Amino acid sequence: MSPRHILELSVEEQRAFSDSFDMVVSDCDGVLWLLDGWIPGTGEAINALKSAGKSIKFVSNNSFRSDEQYMEKFAHIGAEQVQHDDIVHPVKTMVRYLKKHMPNQRVFSLMSLEANETLRKNGIEYESLEVNEHLTCAKMLDCLLIEKPCEAVLFDIHLDMSYVQLCKAIYHLQLNHACKLIAGGTDVIMPLTKDLNVPGFYFLLEHIQRFTKREPIYLGKPSPLLGDNLKEMFHIDEPSRCIFVGDMLVQDIQFGKSLGFQSLLVLSGSQTKEDMLAAEPEAQPDYYADSLADFIQLLKNIE
Ligand SMILES: [Mg+2]
């Protein structure tokens, strides 16, 4: 059956839909706000869902924002009582993974300054490479010198990623055959504005893979490992009582469905109704809405 718009359900169906889930797990960019702007009513929708007794958690593929910067955005949209632990993004999942599977191991970070700050705060020993001068081959050789091997290379969306940083990450992986490649945000497309999509970081990760023959451990959406983590962190015992809300068919809808969640695509972000209808039936969401803000109306309709 084709996905149904939540406001085109009858009032009885809207009530049954609302009664069918206890937890909303929502993407952030494209759902709550845009990279370059805001989406009206999303904070109010979060508050209304909470007032209706729903628990709401947030899962983003963007760690180029610190938790504090996430909190500022939640405050801006007027979402009340959002806690740090309600938000999951790749570097936090990486910290969890490292503490559990590789405690006290040194890592090389190909991640943003904000993500590195999260590593530091969590006591992860990491190496990163910052080069702010013109590079000659001689200087580059200096930069590639490895004093201490690393046990993992952490890869994530990193707007300042440079050629020499990529080379050093590859060199770490080549030098230590046990060194793991751990990947966070690896989207194929990064929508900067409604009209401007730039290539995502997936292709840079592919570059590392090509030269190292290393298979990454994926910890961003839609990774099954992240799914297991979420179920554990948010104490999800009954996945069918959760609904995943997102603006991307692969990272959000496919991910939510793989976890056994219900799924809802919002059209406020990257993908259009035409994209949704053009997808294979199994890749389509259960429901769709213009925006998360449609929940305000839905909850009023069933009062
Ligand atoms: Mg999104």
Predicted pLDDT at 53: 98
Residue 27 annotated as lining a ligand binding site: yes
Residue 142 annotated as lining a ligand binding site: no
176, 203, 218 - which closes a domain: 218
Q: Which of 263, 259, 253 is nearest to 287 (CA)?
A: 263
Q: How far is the CA of 267 from the centre of ligand 1 (A)?
A: 10
The whole-number average pLDDT for the span 230-242 is 96
b or e along 131-159 (b: 16 or more beta carbons within 10 Å of the residue's beta carbon)? eeeeeeeeeeeebeeeeeebbbbbbbbbe
187, 218, 249 - which closes a domain: 218
218, 241, 266 - which closes a domain: 218
Sheet architecture: strand order including 217-218: 126-127, 107-110, 152-155, 180-183, 217-218
Predicted pLDDT at 195: 82
In this structure, the answer to whether residues 105 and 117 fall within a common structural domain is yes
Residue 62 annotated as lining a ligand binding site: yes
In this structure, the answer to whether residues 95 and 209 fall within a common structural domain is yes
In this structure, the answer to whether residues 226 and 159 fall within a common structural domain is no
Predicted pLDDT at 202: 94
Task: Check pLDDT > 80 for residue 295.
Answer: yes
Distance (Å, rounded) from C-alpha 243 to C-alpha 143? 47
In this structure, the answer to whether residues 54 and 150 fall within a common structural domain is no
Predicted pLDDT at 192: 83
In this structure, the answer to whether residues 8 and 102 fall within a common structural domain is no
Domain assignment present for residue 73? The answer is no
In this structure, the answer to whether residues 131 and 195 fall within a common structural domain is yes
Q: Respond yes or no: is residue 36 known to be catalytic.
A: no
Predicted pLDDT at 196: 87
In this structure, the answer to whether residues 176 and 203 fall within a common structural domain is yes
Domain assignment present for residue 119? The answer is yes
Q: How far is the CA of 162 from the centre of ligand 1 (A)?
A: 25
Distance (Å, rounded) from C-alpha 153 to C-alpha 106? 9
User: Which pLDDT tens digit goes with each residue over 148-192?
Assistant: 999 999 999 999 999 999 999 999 999 999 999 999 999 888 888
Domain assignment present for residue 70? The answer is no
In this structure, the answer to whether residues 46 and 108 fall within a common structural domain is no
In this structure, the answer to whether residues 235 and 209 fall within a common structural domain is no
Q: What is the pTM of this model?
A: 0.94
In this structure, the answer to whether residues 149 and 243 fall within a common structural domain is no
| CB neighbourhood size of 85 (10 A) | 11
Predicted pLDDT at 85: 95
* Active-site residue, from 22, 27, 252, 294: 27
In this structure, the answer to whether residues 228 and 281 fall within a common structural domain is yes
How many domains does the chain divide into?
Answer: 2
Q: Respond yes or no: is residue 29 known to be catalytic.
A: yes
Q: How far is the CA of 245 from the centre of ligand 1 (A)?
A: 9
How sure is the predictor about 57, in pLDDT bands with cuts at 50, 70 and 90?
A: very high
Predicted pLDDT at 30: 94
Task: Check pLDDT > 80 for residue 56.
Answer: yes
Question: What residues make up the domain containing 102?
Answer: 90-218
Predicted pLDDT at 194: 76
> In this structure, what CATH number is given to the domain that contains residue 148?
3.40.50.1000
Domain assignment present for residue 192? The answer is yes
In this structure, the answer to whether residues 119 and 192 fall within a common structural domain is yes
